[in-house]
Amino acid sequence: MLNIYVIHGPNLNMLGVRETEIYGRLSLQEINKKITTLANELKLEVAFFQSNHEGEIVEYIQQAHYENVDGVIINPAAYTHTSVAIRDSISSVKLPVVEVHLSNTHSRESFRHLSHLAAVCLGRIEGFGAHSYLLALYALHNYLHAKK
Ligand code: DQA
C-alpha cells in the first residue's frame, strides 16, 4: 500500500477556533478524519503530523525519506513565507510533495504571496478550505499510480 505523510504547520492545531471566517469551522481532527476516509477509498495509508516548530517539520520530512514514504502533503502555514530550512529539506528528500493551503493566499496580504516551497514541490493547491487537502490526496494518488 502506498504511504503518505500529511504535515500541518504552525497554528493549524487551532483550526475551528482560529479566524474561522478565513479557515472555516472544522477542527484539525475533523479535517484529518476526512483525509482518512478518502485515503481508505483510494487505498492509501496516511500518517498525520502537526507541529508549531520549524525544526520538527524539517525532521519529519527527513523521516519520510528514511521510512521510504511514497509522498507528502504539507500545509506549511506561516513557514510557507519564511522557511528556507523546510524548502531545503524538501529538495533533500526528492519525494513528491504537494503544498496545500486552506485559504487563497494570493487574495490576502502581499507577504503571503511568496512561497519558499512552491518551486520544490510537485504542485500546489489552495483556496478550497479543507477540500484543498482532499484535492491534494487525489493528485498524489494519480501521480503515484501514473509513475508505477
Ligand atoms: C495557510 C495560509 C498561511 O498564509 C497562513 O500563515 C496559515 C494558513 C492556509 O492554509 O491558508 O497559517 O497556510
Query: 140 alpha carbon to ligand 1 midpoint, in Å?
Result: 21
CATH number at residue 126: 3.40.50.9100
pLDDT, position 148: 73
Ligand 1 contact via 32 beta carbon (within 6 Å): no
pLDDT-flagged residues of the chain (< 70): none
Ligand 1 contact via 65 beta carbon (within 6 Å): no
pLDDT, position 5: 98
SS3 47: strand
pLDDT, position 115: 98
Phi, psi angles (nearest 5°) of residue 105: -65, -25
Q: Which one of the listed residues 5, 60, 79, 101 is annotated catalytic?
A: 101
How many structural domains does the chain have?
A: 1
pLDDT, position 57: 98
Query: 81 alpha carbon to ligand 1 midpoint, in Å?
Result: 9
Position 89, amino acid: S
CB neighbourhood size of 76 (10 A)? 27
Where in the sequence is the domain holding 22, given as residue range(s)?
2-147
pLDDT, position 14: 97
CA-103 nearest atom, ligand 1: 11
DSSP 137: H
Q: Cell triple for residue 114?
A: 511568496
| Residue 13, burial from CB neighbour count under 10 angstroms (0-12, 13-18, 19+) | middle
